[in-house]
């Protein structure tokens, strides 16, 4: 249950919908991740794309995490929030010249380069500025993440990374680029991965590619294995903090590295998903011959994941009465799209107009993917402390 009775009382009269962020849980999650990583001398760059809410970012920054960015604006945001430029990675298949130049000026930790052409462009722009760019080469490892196909990134058919067939050429281009310094290799196979065997397979591929470079006389200092650790969308109260120990253990065990080699991660979802919930009000209830509907004041404009990926989020009634009878509701939003549905046949205590409903595990890829479609209002949020 998200709120206790006292908290529920405080919510009376608060305008909905809003994102509710439990900052205590956020801190506990960050501490668990940081401790597990520090123990193994691993480095974490927080993937800003999961959530760039100012308050959340400043807490993450204050704990000493690096930042993983996918746009010039994310790089700028990280700098503004106080992330150390030396801990910023910049990824993405389509970095513009303007974005590359800005990041070069900040002397970020590394550009995760996704194609040979991009390598040449970074080299030329760095030469113009008299700079040397640190780059990691993103290799597409062709590992199946066994997750939703929209969030699988490491297969040959995906647009990400340098394909294996071009690596020989990429290595040659790297040798000829005087304004580029290869610091490492970068991989990322997908998101919401809960099967640790996927990460084990990734380690096997990383070892192969690392040896491939080393056999050609190229030393790899940084091995960046991306992000992707999943969270428990079904049981947020039972499993509020992902098992970071088990996750990092896989890499500790299966990744070959010598004393000098650094292992870096780009975690997003695992750090922020469980601390956020979308809280909404029932506007109307409706019963047809076959269906019962709860029509909420939040929709796909506030949380797009169910509409976009058929993603499951646990839905619960706030301050539920345990004696109320259970009804299977289709929980829908107000947007003029049939896909604007948070869940079908969701068993919930009988609800009425004005009741509060929480959609859980919405801290990652929730607020950041909100839109103004239907000219909806700007998203609001409340913090736990
Ligand atoms: N690194 C790279 C290169 C990535 O592409 C991503 C996510 C991450 C790190 C962070 O992955 P995480 O640790 O959060 O799984 N909007 C989708 C997820 C898209 C993920 C995109 N890339 C969703 O709502 O499920």
Chain segment 233-270, per-residue pLDDT in tens: 999 999 999 999 999 999 999 999 987 899 999 999 99
The pLDDT of residue 1 is 75
**Alpha carbons 310 and 352: distance in angstroms, whole number:** 26
Per-residue tokens: 112 = 């995760």
Q: Start-end ranges of CATH 2.40.37.10 in the chain?
A: 5-19+274-384
How much of the chain exceeds pLDDT 70, in percent? Answer: 96
The pLDDT of residue 141 is 82
Q: Start-end ranges of CATH 3.20.20.10 in the chain?
A: 23-272
Express each pLDDT in 96-154 by its tens digit.
Answer: 999 999 999 999 999 999 999 999 999 999 999 999 999 999 998 878 776 666 656 65
The answer for residues whose C-beta is within 8 angstroms of residue 367's C-beta and 6 or more apart is 19, 51, 53, 276, 302, 379, 381
What one-character DSSP code corresponds to residue 247? Answer: H
Instruction: State the pLDDT confidence band at 225, using cuts at 50, 70 and 90.
Output: very high
Which has the higher per-residue pLDDT, 8 or 220? 220
Q: Tell me how far the alpha carbon of residue 346 lies from the centroid of ligand 1, in angstroms.
A: 27
Instruction: State the pLDDT confidence band at 92, using cuts at 50, 70 and 90.
Output: very high
**Residue to probe by mutation, ligand 1, list 227, 300, 306, most atoms within 8 Å of CB:** 227
* Average pLDDT rounded to a whole number, residues 330-343: 96
The pLDDT of residue 210 is 94
* Average pLDDT rounded to a whole number, residues 310-327: 92
The verdict on the CB of residue 151 being under 6 Å from ligand 1 is yes
The verdict on the CB of residue 283 being under 6 Å from ligand 1 is no
Top-tier CATH class for 23-272: alpha beta
Which has the higher per-residue pLDDT, 258 or 186? 186
Alpha helices in the chain (DSSP H): 5-10, 23-39, 54-62, 72-81, 97-106, 116-129, 167-176, 196-215, 244-254, 269-272, 305-309
Choose among 305, 302, 284, 304: nearest CA to 293: 284
The pLDDT of residue 6 is 77
* Average pLDDT rounded to a whole number, residues 35-62: 98
Is the pLDDT at 334 greater than 90, yes or no? yes
Is the pLDDT at 275 greater than 80, yes or no? yes
5-19+274-384: CATH topology is Lyase, Ornithine Decarboxylase; Chain A, domain 1 (2.40.37)
Is the pLDDT at 181 greater than 80, yes or no? yes
The verdict on the CB of residue 351 being under 6 Å from ligand 1 is no
Which residues on adjacent β-strands are paired with residue 356?
281
The pLDDT of residue 289 is 83
Closest ligand 1 atom to Cα of 269: 14
The verdict on the CB of residue 43 being under 6 Å from ligand 1 is no
Which has the higher per-residue pLDDT, 160 or 358? 358
The pLDDT of residue 150 is 60
Choose among 363, 145, 185: nearest CA to 272: 363
Single pTM value for the model: 0.96
Closest ligand 1 atom to Cα of 268: 14
Which has the higher per-residue pLDDT, 163 or 224? 224
Burial class (CB in 10 A: 0-12, 13-18, 19+), 251: buried
The pLDDT of residue 321 is 79
Q: Tell me how far the alpha carbon of residue 376 lies from the centroid of ligand 1, in angstroms.
A: 26
Q: Tell me how far the alpha carbon of residue 6 lies from the centroid of ligand 1, in angstroms.
A: 36
Angle CA 273–277–279, to nearest 5: 165
Choose among 96, 146, 93, 133: nearest CA to 115: 93
């Amino acid at each position: 249950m998200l709120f206790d009775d006292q908290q529920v009382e405080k919510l009376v009269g608060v305008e909905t919908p809003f994102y509710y962020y439990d900052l205590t849980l956020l801190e506990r999650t960050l501490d668990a991740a940081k401790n597990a990583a520090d123990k193994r001398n691993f480095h974490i760059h927080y993937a800003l794309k999961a959530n760039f809410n100012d308050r959340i970012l400043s807490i993450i920054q204050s704990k000493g995490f690096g930042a993983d960015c996918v746009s010039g604006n994310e790089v700028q945001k990280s700098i503004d929030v106080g992330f150390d430029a030396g801990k910023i990675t910049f990824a993405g298949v389509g970095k513009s010249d303007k974005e590359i130049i800005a990041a070069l000026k900040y002397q970020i930790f590394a550009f995760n380069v996704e194609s040979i052409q991009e390598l040449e462009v970074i080299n030329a722009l760095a030469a113009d500025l008299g700079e040397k760019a640190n780059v990691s080469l993103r290799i597409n490892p062709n590992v199946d993440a066994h997750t939703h196909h929209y969030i699988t990134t490491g297969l040959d058919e995906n647009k990400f990374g340098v394909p294996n067939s071009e690596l020989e050429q990429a290595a040659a281009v790297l040798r000829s680029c005087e304004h580029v310094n290869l610091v490492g290799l970068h991989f990322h196979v997908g998101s919401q991965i809960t099967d640790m065997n996927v990460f084990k397979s990734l380690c096997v591929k990383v070892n192969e590619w690392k040896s491939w470079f080393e056999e050609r006389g190229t030393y790899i200092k940084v091995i960046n294995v991306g992000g992707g650790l999943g969270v428990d969308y079904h049981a947020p109260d039972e499993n509020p903090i992902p098992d970071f120990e088990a996750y990092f253990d896989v890499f500790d065990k299966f990744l070959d590295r010598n004393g000098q080699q650094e292992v870096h991660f780009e975690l997003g979802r695992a750090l922020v998903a469980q601390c956020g919930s979308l809280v909404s009000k029932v506007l109307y209830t409706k019963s047809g011959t076959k269906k019962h509907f709860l029509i909420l004041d939040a929709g796909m404009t506030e949380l797009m994941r169910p509409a976009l990926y058929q993603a499951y989020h646990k839905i619960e009634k706030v301050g539920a009465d345990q004696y109320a009878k259970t009804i299977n509701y289709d929980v829908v939003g107000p947007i003029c799209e049939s896909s604007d549905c948070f869940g079908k046949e969701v068993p919930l205590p009988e609800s009425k107009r004005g009741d509060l409903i929480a959609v859980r595990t919405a801290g990652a890829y929730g607020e950041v993917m909100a839109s103004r479609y239907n000219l909806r209002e700007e998203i609001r949020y409340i913090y736990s402390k």
